[in-house]
Structure 1
Amino acid sequence: MCLHRVMDRSWMKKSRRETSYEDGVEEFLNFAYQDLPPDSEILCPCKKCKNRINQTRDEVKTHLRCDGILQGYTSWVHHGENYERPTIAFDDVPNMTTLSATGIVQGHRDGGSDSIEELLHAAFGRAAGMLEGEADDFQARFACMEHNALEDINVNSSEGDDLRRDHNIYARFLKDAHVRLYPDCKYSRLSFLVHLYHLKCLHGWSQESFASLLGLLSAVLPREANLPKTYYEAKKIIRGLGLDYVKIHACPKDCMLFRGEHAKNDVCHVCGSSRWKVVKENLSSAKPKGKRKPTKVLRYFPLIPRIQRLFSTTKTSDDMRWHEEARTKDGKLRHPADGEAWKEFDDRHPEFAADARNVRLGLASDGFNPFGNQNLKHSTWPVMLVPYNLPPWICMKQTSFMFSMIIPGPDSPGNDIDVYLQPLIDELILLWDGVETFDASSKKEFHLKAALLWTINDFPALGYLSGWSTGGTYACPACGPATKSFRLKHGKKSCYMGHRRWLPENHRYRRQRMQFDGSIETELAPKTMSVSTILKMLEGREFVLGKKVSIAKKDKKKSKNKEVADESAKKRKRKTKGQNNESNGSVSQEVKNPKDWLKKRSVFFNLPYWEQNRLRHNLDVMHLEKNVSDNFISTLLAICHKTKDDLNARLDLVELRIREDLHPVVHNDGKHTIPDAPFTMSREKKEILCSVIKNLRTPDGYASNISRCVNMKDFTLSGLKSHDNHVLLHDILPVALRSCYPSKDVMRIVVELSNFFKMLCSKVIDVDELVKLQESIVMTLCDMERTFLPSFFTVSVHLMVHLVDEVKHGGPVQYRWMYPMERYETSFSLHCCCQ
């Protein structure tokens, strides 16, 4: 009998002040210590320790009463309880880098059999599941497998070969799983190697150190143990348990992959670059010596077997139906399934929505330096997939992410990332048609489908994946050709204002010129750029991917660009002086074609459903918060080289003929004096603000040590991470500025922005409140245009006006920002030495 079915766990969700909660804590402690000495320590399951720190009984009791028990920890596997069928794909662990070795073997302290047989069942779900129920004991099942099972497989020849191979591998592992390491040992050789290899991966042991440990263990343990003595031998034994990856050679200039019809080519058919590295010894010889090495290798992790493994255990199989069967449906936004994009996708594809097991995916990618050396320029791009069927407490955990590929460095793939995504797109097309998959929950096969809903990236990577250039005149991917911007002559960058378009038609701000950009606003809010607009821009255009095309094409392109430049120069010469833009006083701008902002046809349009997706590329709230916070802090503290208020910014006001009270004053000696603006802080106020942040003490786990970023000598902040800006903008800055704000207008703007991002980042959102939130951010942006200089309005500031619509479509931002992915990438660099 499973104890977790008998014992009542409802007390875990009650208030800590209730008697039933206190009784539940006592019941939990009695259960945890039933086989342990009273003075021993156990893992503390409070919300603070999260089963990572060992504590005494009294300390655990205090923690549970003060901090509460970890929600979701309903199966007490770290305290002596066993699963009926363990969760293999998604264990409730906080982080790979912080998991203790004690937790790994905690379930074996009672001296019982380890769970290697259940792990094998999960790894070979279909092959093992077809035999389930034929016999209860191992000997009968193994004999049945060897003699009878393969004869009863009713599948086609190719599928039967795959299943027969899985049966053979499963039989070998199952046999090894019941051969003890030595007499009276609770570990088999297989389970011992699995646990040892698990520790190697968790703690970043190198292959050499792992081999040395195997050698030592072989010498210490009895001869009957028969342990492998090298890393290669150990990997050979357990290789079949994991999911393999494929190495695909790539052109060094990112033009193509050597796969399919080009798999046997030696040179790139686009640029002519060699597939192989040039070795000095082979330059003189006609025939190369030894095995040739490729110049660039893509490591691709096939998606279909990884999705199928989600259904190999009953626990994960049930979790994959959570979004339909267990989700709270009260009209509020708690999960992507509550958003308009998910519902609209289901309405457009009813056959896909009919089975709750069909998987919805999100794709995330970003470049990082795996070596952690800031002096070394290197950018490796992992691509990850997020299965959104899962409940919130599992969905965005690192253990839930599925690796898709690792795009090698040292340079970023840029717009050529489509070349590397092609194997994934091919698999997604197959998954849209469906693949046969064994469901451990129903003990039957079903037709599994999967679809990609959207991508999650920072703003530059959004441009790489969508093909829309995220810089210059039409940088906003939502407004597209309707983006309102102009080039600052002295600041030498684009300014994105024009937020009065989102105001009601009769609003007084629309008629005010000098407080804004010098023009009266008559336009209405632009509609989000549609797919039909994008496809129309792509008509008749051809794109060649790769960092460098062939010499002939390159010369032809240079010649064409020169002709276009000469033609535009002649047109500018004929232009009269009266044709300059007088509405804002700036110099005339060359009219640019929005088509030029589409650098390619995105590879995602190869998916049959991609054109109909409501939300295709998410704006990353994490990086937008960071950029907006940086703008405020650097401008308020006048941080050199980062402030948006300098002489060039004031000279742009002169060019635009607005805000005369802020124009620089020119003296007889030619020097300029910049008058104070509403956001200018005196030295005394800067000191107060910096001292508040410097002396700030926050609860453990709330934020990093932000005080280390404060320089009290120059009154500046530097080295802030994304989450530091998140905490500053949400909670610290509105409070810290109360006693030193430069003006009431600035103080009001900071408070309104803080409230906006707090509501935007809520885990539960009322849809009716989003209308008010959109009106609030529009007014805040307009007030910012009246208070701050045009140089303040980078594209990140403008993109805030689109965030509310994205929440309506995609649900809470916690499922669509880069925090989990970037933290996952940090763990990669920690394990980079694991060779």
Structure 2
Amino acid sequence: MDLNNIKKLLLFPRPGDEYLAGIDGFLQFAYREKSLEDKIRCPCKECVNKWLLTRDEVYDYLVCHGMLLGYSPWGCHGETTSFISANSRGTESQSRGMDGNMHQLVQDAFGNTNNDPPVNEYDVQNSLNSGPDHETKAFYNLLRDAHDPLWEGCELTRLSFLVLLFHIKSVNKWSNKSLNDLLAILQQAIPNGKNLPGTFAEAKRIIGKLGLNYVKIHVCPNNCQLYRKAKANDDFCSKCGTSRWKNKEDKTTLTKKERRRATPRKVLRYFPIKPRLKRLFMHKETAIALRWHDEGRTKDGVLRHPADSEAWKSIDSRNPQFASDSRNIRFAMASDGFNPFGILSSTYSCWPVVLIPYNLPPWLCMKASSIMLALIIPGPSYPGKDFHVFKEPVYEELFDLFEVGTPTYDASQNEMFQLRATVLFTISDYPGIGIFAGYSVNGEFACITCREETCSKRLKHGHKYCFMGHRRFLPLDHELRYNENSFDGTEEHRVEPLAYSETSVLQKIEKINDFEKSKTWKCRSGLFSLPYWDLNVLHHNLDVMHIEKNVCDNIYGTLLGVEGKSKDNLQARLDLQEMNIRPDLHPIRKANNKYYLPPASYTMSKREKQQFCKVLHDIKVPDGYAGNISKCINVSQGKISGLKSHDCHILMQELLPVALRGVLPDNVTSVLFDLCGYFRELSSKVLYIDVLDKLEEQIKMTLCCLEMIFPPGFFTIMVHLVVHLATEAQLGGPVCYRCMYFVERYISLTNIISFVI
């Protein structure tokens, strides 16, 4: 009985004979290379592949609860893409040695799975009804080369040899000339050496078929313009007059020969999107996976994937023609700055821009092989509002992909079709949102969701803005709206800010005459050049990863009185006195002109700090569950320092409620526990609308209770943004698809160098 029949049997109602036969077939498959004593992940509806159970326990759970819906590729039980490929080719792939790995590398370069194409052009032409285009033929020919060894008995093919050679060149920083010299020697030293390219340029043209090629676009040193299209041959910027070339400050125009030899001051690297999108459909299994959101997704109103979100449904409802073909791609656009030189340059800032295709199923869409690098914005300076000047070629291609599309061959349906694409939203940290949106995320109106209705107050002694007005989100008749002394000394009569409204943002931006004087919008984002962007339900995601880290830093920094992180200090107490609230916390001036700060309800004694830190220090977690948090904790001094984002994630959702129990008064711990529970529920892989509605109401009250406990300086913009996270989850889907964890793992020095050879 093959796997497809076993999977069909598992769809029968429980506990019929057909369903039981399907369970037996599944267990035989899952234990084909395991002993009966081994444990496997249980794929029932209750365990959802989380818990390791014995064979008999898995059998009982599957009988009682049924197989997990939508679990069609058994990735947790051995049916991986490599298993499928190996079984489809039999023992042939095992005899290829390095060539088998090379074939997998070719697939990974395109972000798709293994499925052998025809091995020559004649077979290609006769296997297709409508026939592939030139680019499809070139790709198939490239895969054909991956099967031919360099010489009889050699484990390397021509393609695998060149890829490995380019990898060594990149890692060891060889010059182009050194690779030219090596290729010349190898042509004479190995059998059939003439099959190898003679120069680096020839080798690069071959490797370019893998989709690793890019376009170099020169940039004005002052980021005024790109030298492309009509300005491609200009030697000086049309706006600032700065020379395009190094050591060429005079105003004379260069000849073609001089221009070829001249060195540009700044170069942008642009990776065309269309060719890589087309290659996604050149393999049957990947083409099928790109329709998973329509054909394989469980559609029961629960949020498991961005395809279940309002952002996705809104675009489909406004563009019926686009939604009619499930193969059309929905992207998220992400970017973040990093320093490629490490400690060698503390100020250099390089900004890669990537696209994440959400059509793929959850186990594929966030993998590094599925993410597409679209742009590398060079440093050394922070791009700021010039970010959209760099992104002009990306916006133009995305505009064309939505309005016109590109002819693409679908290997799964054996036909050509017009592929189109759209961008759902952007993903970045909060300063990155300011760059994407052209919005000032600092100052009085720092909340990009509330915008002009942001409730903020400038602290006289803290010298910064605080964002405390969370009573606005409560019902109009709520008693806390009239409690002056517990909050900022005023009653709250304003209505809730109109966030995520369907009103046009572009109309507000176009009314601004001088962006330099505007307190909110600082430029017109290039994303508005996309015809659908202004009407998108969710434009820019609030990154839960960084918000959670900042909130966690505020909490443990204030509780432990960590210098530089505590929000309770002399300035904070003077601000309370200035606002004439909470007189029991006002600082008391002593005879020596120093101040005594009365202990607050959240103030810990030295023994309590040590007890709190000791619990965190001694907690043992499974390997890989979290970093070694104990290295960041000093028990004797009662201090925590150096926590990473994921450490704060684990601390906030799991460890903080345990460590705080019995240390602080109940009125403090209960509110902090509610906040930890909020983040824990919000980070679930499966979200229910009714639960999100409850979380949305709960967090409003939780933040109001925090305002009654902590000083105003505690409420930075990152703490305020917590109030919008549950609403965004309804609009954008589960948090795990919209946070910076997987983006930052991809945008690293290793990944970027692997593309820029």
TM-score interval, smaller chain: 0.7 to 0.9
Contact 2:610 2:637 in 1 (8 A): no
Distance 1:691 1:219, change over 3 A: farther
In 2: Cα distance, 1:826 partner to 1:420 partner: 20
Contact 1:370 1:828 in 2 (8 A): no
Of the structure 1 ranges 250-259 and 728-737, higher mean CA displacement relative to structure 2 is found in 250-259
1:108 pairs, out of 87, 94, 111, with 94
Indicate the residue corresponding to 1:702 in structure 2. 625
1:258-303 CA deviation, whole Å, 9 max, x = no partner?
A: 11222111111222221111279x9999996981111111100111
What is the letter of the counterpart of residue 391 of structure 2?
A: L
Q: Offset at 1:223?
A: 5.6
Q: Offset at 1:110?
A: 7.0
Distance 1:745 1:634, change over 3 A: same
Contact 1:436 1:446 in 2 (8 A): yes
What is the letter of the counterpart of residue 688 of structure 2?
A: D
Are 1:351 and 2:321 an aligned pair? yes
Aligned counterparts, 1:26-41, within 5 A: 27=29, 30=32
Aligned counterparts, 1:362-381, within 5 A: 362-373=332-343, 376-381=346-351
Q: Offset at 1:205?
A: 5.2
Distance 1:186 1:653, change over 3 A: closer
Indicate the residue corresponding to 2:289 in structure 1. 319
In 2: Cα distance, 1:121 partner to 1:664 partner: 66
Question: Counterpart of 2:269 in 1: which secondary structure?
Answer: strand
1:31-59 CA deviation, whole Å, 9 max, x = no partner?
A: 699xxxxxxxxxx99779xxxxxxxxxxx
What is the letter of the counterpart of residue 322 of structure 2?
A: F
In 2: Cα distance, 1:521 partner to 1:76 partner: 57
Q: Offset at 1:359?
A: 0.8
Residue segments in structure 1 that go unaligned for 5+ positions in a row: 34-43, 49-59, 87-104, 155-159, 545-556, 558-592
Indicate the residue corresponding to 1:101 in structure 2. none
Indicate the residue corresponding to 2:374 in structure 1. 404
In 1: Cα distance, 2:140 partner to 2:629 partner: 56
Return the TM-score normalized by structure 1: 0.76
Question: Counterpart of 1:451 in 2: which secondary structure?
Answer: strand
Are 1:769 and 2:740 an aligned pair? no
In 1: Cα distance, 2:674 partner to 2:477 partner: 23
Instruction: Using CA pairs under 8 Å that are at least 6 residues apart, name the structure with larger relative contact order, 1 or 2.
Output: 1
Distance 1:713 1:323, change over 3 A: same
Are 1:658 and 2:581 an aligned pair? yes
Indicate the residue corresponding to 1:788 in structure 2. 710
Indicate the residue corresponding to 1:258 in structure 2. 227
2:269 pairs, out of 266, 280, 299, with 299
Distance 1:270 1:502, change over 3 A: same
How many residue pairs align between the two structures? 716
Question: Counterpart of 2:568 in 1: which secondary structure?
Answer: coil
Question: Counterpart of 1:330 in 2: which secondary structure?
Answer: coil
Question: Counterpart of 1:373 in 2: which secondary structure?
Answer: helix
Contact 2:40 2:55 in 1 (8 A): no
In 1: Cα distance, 2:730 partner to 2:548 partner: 19
Indicate the residue corresponding to 2:79 in structure 1. 75
2:216 pairs, out of 244, 247, 264, with 247
1:592-628 CA deviation, whole Å, 9 max, x = no partner?
A: x8x4311011111111111110001111101000010
Of the structure 1 ranges 703-712 and 178-187, higher mean CA displacement relative to structure 2 is found in 178-187
1:730 pairs, out of 632, 653, 673, with 653
Larger Rg: 1
Indicate the residue corresponding to 1:503 in structure 2. 474
Of the structure 1 ranges 223-232 and 810-819, higher mean CA displacement relative to structure 2 is found in 223-232
What is the letter of the counterpart of residue 75 of structure 1?
A: E
Q: Offset at 1:189?
A: 2.9
Question: Counterpart of 1:452 in 2: which secondary structure?
Answer: strand
In 2: Cα distance, 1:193 partner to 1:526 partner: 58
Contact 1:85 1:314 in 2 (8 A): no
Contact 1:46 1:70 in 2 (8 A): no
1:746-769 CA deviation, whole Å, 9 max, x = no partner?
A: 211211011100111111111011
1:189 pairs, out of 158, 161, 172, with 158
1:548-586 CA deviation, whole Å, 9 max, x = no partner?
A: xxxxxxxxx9xxxxxxxxxxxxxxxxxxxxxxxxxxxxx
Distance 1:771 1:171, change over 3 A: closer
Indicate the residue corresponding to 2:416 in structure 1. 445
Contact 2:212 2:755 in 1 (8 A): no
Indicate the residue corresponding to 1:690 in structure 2. 613
Question: Counterpart of 2:217 in 1: which secondary structure?
Answer: strand
2:489 pairs, out of 507, 518, 521, with 518
Indicate the residue corresponding to 2:69 in structure 1. none
Q: Offset at 1:535?
A: 3.2
Aligned counterparts, 1:271-310, within 5 A: 271-278=240-247, 291-310=261-280
Q: Offset at 1:251?
A: 1.2
In 2: Cα distance, 1:688 partner to 1:661 partner: 27
What is the letter of the counterpart of residue 759 of structure 1?
A: E
Return the TM-score normalized by structure 2: 0.84
1:718 pairs, out of 614, 619, 641, with 641
In 1: Cα distance, 2:497 partner to 2:698 partner: 18
Aligned counterparts, 1:434-583, within 5 A: 434-528=405-499, 530=501, 532=503, 534-541=505-512
Contact 1:181 1:225 in 2 (8 A): no
Contact 1:122 1:312 in 2 (8 A): no
Distance 1:76 1:814, change over 3 A: closer
1:178-230 CA deviation, whole Å, 9 max, x = no partner?
A: 65422355654335545x358659x9454479889979987885467855687
Aligned counterparts, 1:153-164, within 5 A: 163=133
In 1: Cα distance, 2:135 partner to 2:597 partner: 78
Q: Offset at 1:75?
A: 3.4
In 1: Cα distance, 2:110 partner to 2:346 partner: 43
What is the letter of the counterpart of residue 281 of structure 2?
A: F
Contact 1:123 1:312 in 2 (8 A): no
Contact 2:98 2:156 in 1 (8 A): no
Are 1:419 and 2:423 an aligned pair? no
Q: Offset at 1:689?
A: 1.1
Of the structure 1 ranges 282-291 and 688-697, higher mean CA displacement relative to structure 2 is found in 282-291
Are 1:758 and 2:680 an aligned pair? yes
Distance 1:224 1:9, change over 3 A: farther
Contact 1:335 1:392 in 2 (8 A): yes
Question: Counterpart of 1:618 in 2: which secondary structure?
Answer: coil
What is the letter of the counterpart of residue 708 of structure 2?
A: R
1:641-668 CA deviation, whole Å, 9 max, x = no partner?
A: 2210111111111111111110000122
Residue segments in structure 2 that go unaligned for 5+ positions in a row: 15-19, 43-53, 63-72
1:384 pairs, out of 354, 357, 362, with 354
Contact 1:479 1:527 in 2 (8 A): yes
Contact 2:331 2:358 in 1 (8 A): yes
Indicate the residue corresponding to 1:269 in structure 2. 238
Of the structure 1 ranges 719-728 and 282-291, higher mean CA displacement relative to structure 2 is found in 282-291
1:473-508 CA deviation, whole Å, 9 max, x = no partner?
A: 111111111111110000000010111111122221
Q: Offset at 1:825?
A: 2.1
In 1: Cα distance, 2:110 partner to 2:648 partner: 46
Contact 1:480 1:529 in 2 (8 A): no
Q: Offset at 1:812?
A: 0.6
Q: Offset at 1:832?
A: 7.6
Q: Offset at 1:805?
A: 0.9
In 1: Cα distance, 2:448 partner to 2:383 partner: 20
Contact 1:114 1:187 in 2 (8 A): no
Question: Counterpart of 1:481 in 2: which secondary structure?
Answer: helix
Q: Offset at 1:640?
A: 0.9
User: Percent identity between the aligned chains?
Assistant: 42
1:64-122 CA deviation, whole Å, 9 max, x = no partner?
A: 99xx9983565356569526599xxxxxxxxxxxxxxxxxx994347798597899899
What is the letter of the counterpart of residue 356 of structure 2?
A: V
